Amino acid sequence: MTAKLIRHPDQLALLGAPTSAAAAAAGLEGGPEALRVAIGNRLIEVGYQTTDTGDLPVQLFEPDPESPRARNVRAALGVLESLKLRVEQAAKAHAFPLILGGDSTVILALAAGLRRQAPTLGLVHIGRHADLHTPVFTEDGIVEAMTVSHLIGQGAPELVRFWKEPPLVREPDLVLFGLGEIGAADRERLASTAVGRFPLAKIRRDGARVAAQTTLDRIRAGKRDFVVFLDAAVFSSNEVPGAPRGASEGLTLAEARETLGCLSVLPTFAGLAVSGYDPALDPDRRGAAAIADLIVEALALRHAALVQPKPEEAEAESAVQAPAADAEKAMSGEKSNPPAAQPSESKTAAADPAESSAAPTEGFSAAPAAVAEIQAESEAQSAGAAGTDSSANGTDAAPSSGSEPASS
């Protein structure tokens, strides 16, 4: 039996994993602290009740000549075990987990920590590299270059078994978004998997918004939970410095902002992990500031989307509150029936909040208030002339004209 993954829109858990154990060199372990400083209190300012659980113990890259095909895999596994427990605790508290990580293996802990309550999980992997190496298909034994293989159950055995029933994420439920550099080993592996991919060139051709929406459709994000992984190496090193695996050409901040804006507003957005930033490569912290801005903006959109009532919910609440207000007036001796000239005014007043909250959706009307009035008149008429055509038409046709927002 599994519990349903429930999130409180105001609750957020900040988790730090300063590790470079699975990387190609030391340096990434400094990323979480730099990003935390750049984020500051802004998540609280946009409305989150943020619980910062602090950082796990630092784990550094070591050459590890005894395990040349999967370097430091035991140290990487130790980090993931501890981080997974913290993600599980956040999920039990109904909080949204935000992981600030060093190397990219932290995404395994985010997925594993949520899987107990989310039996199937989608994943949008925003990164330059496919990370489909394995201990067999490797030249350097760098474990973070195997991250996607670990997720789909085909990487280093220690990290594949990290989740007791691999794979952590099914191949069709994972999309590689922003691919730039694809080495020979990754290209061969991609040809034999069902992992989705959205190369940078295709994002540029289709536009970031279309690419993001296609990705969401692919992983069926409208029906089930998904997480997002953001690797700093996906960006142009000129615009966002600080990624050891970065390059001069990459996803722009504008494209990333548009992409995360599409992903973050879905109620099924269940967690975010960010990694791949080395502050030693970015002395003025320009890259940290840019990444922190993206994180805060995306999570602010998520908070607004989950907390702000939908137009139909606001109207339903108004409909419930109106009889209660009349009853309160009656109890206080006031007249509950308004003057004859006021129905149109009250209808307008009831519609204004809905129209205000629905402003971003072009073409939406507050027709349900008018529908309620038509239905009331129809019911009054049907009492004297049951079964007439005009009564039936007034009930069936009106709701369809205003019950759903028009597509923008």
3-state secondary structure of 241: coil
Q: Classify residue 338: in a domain, yes or no.
A: yes
| Residue of higher predicted confidence among 151 and 5 | 151
Mean of the pLDDT values across residues 102-116? 97
Task: Name the pTM for this structure.
Answer: 0.77
Q: Classify residue 2: in a domain, yes or no.
A: no
Tell me the per-residue pLDDT of 290-313, one tens digit each, with 9 for 90 and over. Answer: 999 999 999 999 999 998 765 554
What's the structural domain count of the chain? 2
Judgement on whether residues 191 and 249 belong to the same structural domain of the protein: yes
Cβ-contact 130, 150 below 8 angstroms: no
Range of lowest pLDDT (244-258, 278-292, 365-379) = 365-379
Q: Classify residue 163: in a domain, yes or no.
A: yes
Judgement on whether residues 294 and 321 belong to the same structural domain of the protein: no
**In this predicted structure, what is the pLDDT of residue 183?**
84
**Residue 209 structure tokens:** 């918004």
Mean of the pLDDT values across residues 380-406? 38
- Which element (helix H / strand E) includes 127? none
The C-alpha R_g of the chain, in whole angstroms, comes to: 26
Judgement on whether residues 157 and 252 belong to the same structural domain of the protein: yes
**In this predicted structure, what is the pLDDT of residue 175?**
98
Mean of the pLDDT values across residues 145-168? 95
Q: Classify residue 5: in a domain, yes or no.
A: no
Judgement on whether residues 316 and 212 belong to the same structural domain of the protein: no
Judgement on whether residues 249 and 365 belong to the same structural domain of the protein: no
**In this predicted structure, what is the pLDDT of residue 324?**
52
Q: pLDDT class for 317, splitting at 50, 70, 90?
A: low
Q: pLDDT class for 385, splitting at 50, 70, 90?
A: very low
Mean of the pLDDT values across residues 330-353? 44
Does the pLDDT at position 363 exceed 50?
no
Buried b (16+ CB within 10 A) or exposed e, 80-106: beebbebbbbbbeeebbbbbbbbbbbb
- CA separation for the pair 275, 128 (Å, rounded): 13
- Which element (helix H / strand E) includes 125? strand 122-126
Q: pLDDT class for 379, splitting at 50, 70, 90?
A: very low
Q: pLDDT class for 395, splitting at 50, 70, 90?
A: very low
Which of the listed ranges 2-16, 172-186, 206-220 does the model predict with the highest average pLDDT? 206-220
**In this predicted structure, what is the pLDDT of residue 310?**
58
User: Among the three residues 246, 274, 307, which one is the final residue of a domain in this structure?
Assistant: 307
Judgement on whether residues 265 and 325 belong to the same structural domain of the protein: no
Q: pLDDT class for 171, splitting at 50, 70, 90?
A: very high
**Residue 193 structure tokens:** 């998997």
**In this predicted structure, what is the pLDDT of residue 5?**
75
Judgement on whether residues 252 and 360 belong to the same structural domain of the protein: no
**In this predicted structure, what is the pLDDT of residue 47?**
96
**C-alpha dihedral (14, 19, 23, 26), degrees to nearest 10:** 130
Does the pLDDT at position 228 exceed 60?
yes
| Residue of higher predicted confidence among 70 and 310 | 70
Judgement on whether residues 345 and 279 belong to the same structural domain of the protein: no
Q: Supply the range of the domain harboring residue 295.
A: 11-307
Tell me the per-residue pLDDT of 229-250, one tens digit each, with 9 for 90 and over. Answer: 999 999 999 999 999 999 889 9
- Give the percent of the chain with pLDDT over 70: 75
**In this predicted structure, what is the pLDDT of residue 6?**
78
User: Among the three residues 288, 307, 326, which one is the final residue of a domain in this structure?
Assistant: 307
Judgement on whether residues 291 and 350 belong to the same structural domain of the protein: no
Q: pLDDT class for 365, splitting at 50, 70, 90?
A: very low
Q: Classify residue 272: in a domain, yes or no.
A: yes
- CATH number at 180 reads 3.40.800.10
Tell me the per-residue pLDDT of 10-62, one tens digit each, with 9 for 90 and over. Answer: 999 999 999 999 999 999 999 999 999 999 999 999 999 999 999 999 999 99
User: Among the three residues 278, 307, 336, which one is the final residue of a domain in this structure?
Assistant: 307
Judgement on whether residues 225 and 353 belong to the same structural domain of the protein: no
Judgement on whether residues 255 and 203 belong to the same structural domain of the protein: yes
Judgement on whether residues 317 and 267 belong to the same structural domain of the protein: no
Q: Classify residue 6: in a domain, yes or no.
A: no
Q: Classify residue 355: in a domain, yes or no.
A: yes
- Give the percent of the chain with pLDDT over 90: 69
Mean of the pLDDT values across residues 381-390? 41
* Neighbour-count burial of 192, counting CB atoms closer than 10 A to its CB (0-12 exposed, 13-18 middle, 19+ buried): exposed
Q: Classify residue 227: in a domain, yes or no.
A: yes
